[in-house]
Structure 1
Amino acid sequence: MIIDSHAHIFSTLSGFGADGELKPLHNGKAIWSTGEVIQLLPNEYEETSFPVEELLKIMDQNKIDKAVLLQGGFLGFNNIEVSEAVKKYPARLTGALTVNPFCRNLDKILNHLLTLGLNAFKFEVSTGCGLMGSNGTFNLAGELMYSIYKKLYGKIKTISFDLGSPGDESHQVEALRKISLDFPNFNIVVCHLSSPRREQDENIKRELNLLCRENIYFDTAALFWKTRPENYPFPYARKYLNYAKDIVGAEHLMWGSDMPSTLCNASIKEQLEYASDVFNDEEKEWYYYKCADKVYF
């Protein structure tokens, strides 16, 4: 059995980040406000959209049983679409809500979001497509964010963070450790294994040891893209996975695809298989299914 711990849907692209708006073009392309055009989906997609039915089709083709719908600035916030997709397909999907903490009506927004029936929140805080790309740097363990965690504590079970890469102002691993200590009943997920780049072996080992806590987990979505450029079977990503298995254990790791943008770089089959011989049979159960089931479902 397989759970995709990190997937996305969007009927209408509404990304926003350091480069302004991200709006759809055709054949899978999109354009930032800077004028930069990117290939967001494989070019056989006539429209640059990825509704829930397309996600489910790919899941079925690759024998993926369930998926977790996450959100962030790259594709745009869409709490309503995520919550409606989960209500429509409750046996296959769960999802995480999100919010911009700098909204003037933050409390009103949070009160509404907590009525939507989901048990997780995600904060994409990176300096590129995340909250620190469009709002400037802030402390993840500061007063503003703590006011949010306190409001969510006891009402949801999981908070996920996309920190951006080491060296970015958003990459606040010490703050995550503090949050895990101050809010021990939260499951805390670090997306993309904390987004290490190539030649960062000692730093990723340091961070994994720092964040080796009972209530901290890691998804490995798009790890092979973070360590680019490399080709299948992605030796750098495999090396980092081995570090993670040895330091935090397979029961704290979960497979994810980061669909749909990663479909431009590797097939789901390749994304599933490149890590398969990193783990023994018992560890595979945790990595591909049991950890995400525990944390999100």
Structure 2
Amino acid sequence: MYYHIIDAHSHLWLKQDTMVNGKQIKTCNNGRSMFMGEMRQMLPPFMIDGKNSAEVFLSNMDYAQVEAAVVTQEFIDGCQNDYLADVASRFGDRFFVCGLCDYHRGGYLEEAKQLVSKGFKAIAIPGHRLQTPDGRVKLNCEEMMQMFHYMDDNGIILSLVLEEGTTQIPEIKEVIEECPNLKIALGHFGMVTCSGWKDQIMLARNENVMIESGGITWLFNDEFYPFKGAVKAIREAADLVGMNKLMWGSDYPRTITAITYRMSYDFITKSSDFTEQEKCLFLGENARKFYGFGSFPEIPYIKNMSE
């Protein structure tokens, strides 16, 4: 069966060169990056120039028959607003991009307004990285609430990753109550391998909140393909909130240092734990509706030389 597939959680950058919590993240060679004092394989080793470009991602998407992707942002990659605006202008039919503000200091409400004026339709918040020398920026602080009201009033989507556990749940519940029309995509599947993950999943019982699975193969990396624990977790989440509230995400490119891009979703297509309708919803139809994607041409399957 042909599935219309949309990746609801991916990343792009031309170069990593930033500091997080006083520690450096910097692109090196052969797909490696210096990551907070440790050399890590950030990209597959054949991406020798360290560029995680839209063109390379599109090649992976075509190979894996993925029709479109949502590109969110993370502080560990550095701010990619300029590059993603360029990506949207050149490949807007395949990519939905999220802007990123500096939430560690005041003034991000105005940053968000500027991003929206430049055409961004979503704002990303890596909520698990909001620590400052003075404590953590709370999701329900005054300026955050002002920003969320602005996004609510202007139809801007929030792409949000919460800290593992339940610490931020009361804060985001206040946001949902005050901004009932704000569309929220919660990432990393509630940090599914950590305690409290179902509490995050159940936030999707609110009408405009969705859950995406970006990073789920990383979280279940110890058990590896075909990720039976991830399949079980998706089944449990669907039983809690309905499959119509869940979206597939890959966390590309970090996850493809361990598996291929196709493997990041085909453990779902090959599973007998979901109906065909559930697979269609999870892999693409929910994301198409939530992000407002149009129709796409079917991408043909190209046989491997090894077949």
Task: Establish whether TM, by shorter chain, passes 0.5.
Answer: yes
Could you tell me how far apart the structure 2 residues matched to 1:185 and 1:232 are? Answer: 38
Q: Percent identity?
A: 23
Quote the offset at 1:53 in angstroms. 0.5
Match of 2:92 in 1: 90
| Paired residues of 1:14 and 1:21 also in contact (CA < 8 A) | yes
Unaligned 5+ segments in structure 2 are 293-307
CA displacement 1:43-74 (0-9 Å, x = unmatched): 12212121110111100111110111111112
Of stretches 54-63 and 266-275 in structure 1, the one that deviates more from structure 2 is 266-275
Q: Which one-letter code corresponds to 2:245 in the other structure?
A: H
Match of 1:24 in 2: 27
**TM (normalized to structure 1)?**
0.90
Give the alignment's Cα RMSD to 1 decimal. Answer: 2.0
Quote the offset at 1:19 in angstroms. 5.5
CA displacement 1:80-125 (0-9 Å, x = unmatched): 2112111111211111111112444434423321211121111002
For residue 61 of structure 1, the aligned residue among 42, 47, 63 is: 63
Could you tell me how far apart the structure 2 residues matched to 1:81 and 1:142 are? Answer: 29
Match of 1:256 in 2: 249
| Paired residues of 2:247 and 2:283 also in contact (CA < 8 A) | yes
Matched residue SS, 1:30:
strand
Of stretches 109-118 and 258-267 in structure 1, the one that deviates more from structure 2 is 109-118
| Paired residues of 2:68 and 2:95 also in contact (CA < 8 A) | yes
**TM (normalized to structure 2)?**
0.87
Matches within 5 A, 1:35-74: 35-74=37-76
Change (3 A) 1:19 1:231: farther
Q: Which one-letter code corresponds to 1:195 in the other structure?
A: M
Count of aligned positions: 287
Q: Which one-letter code corresponds to 1:172 in the other structure?
A: Q
2:192 counterpart of 1:218: no
Quote the offset at 1:230 in angstroms. 1.5
2:174 counterpart of 1:183: no
Matched residue SS, 2:79:
coil
CA displacement 1:133-160 (0-9 Å, x = unmatched): 7774122122231121122222233101
Of stretches 11-20 and 172-181 in structure 1, the one that deviates more from structure 2 is 11-20
Match of 1:275 in 2: 268
Could you tell me how far apart the structure 1 residues matched to 2:104 and 2:187 are? Answer: 22
Change (3 A) 1:225 1:135: farther
Could you tell me how far apart the structure 2 residues matched to 1:138 and 1:108 are? Answer: 17
Change (3 A) 1:35 1:209: closer
Change (3 A) 1:112 1:206: closer
| Paired residues of 1:196 and 1:226 also in contact (CA < 8 A) | yes
Matched residue SS, 1:100:
coil
Change (3 A) 1:133 1:247: farther
Structure 1 residue ranges (4+ consecutive) displaced by more than 6 angstroms after TM superposition: none
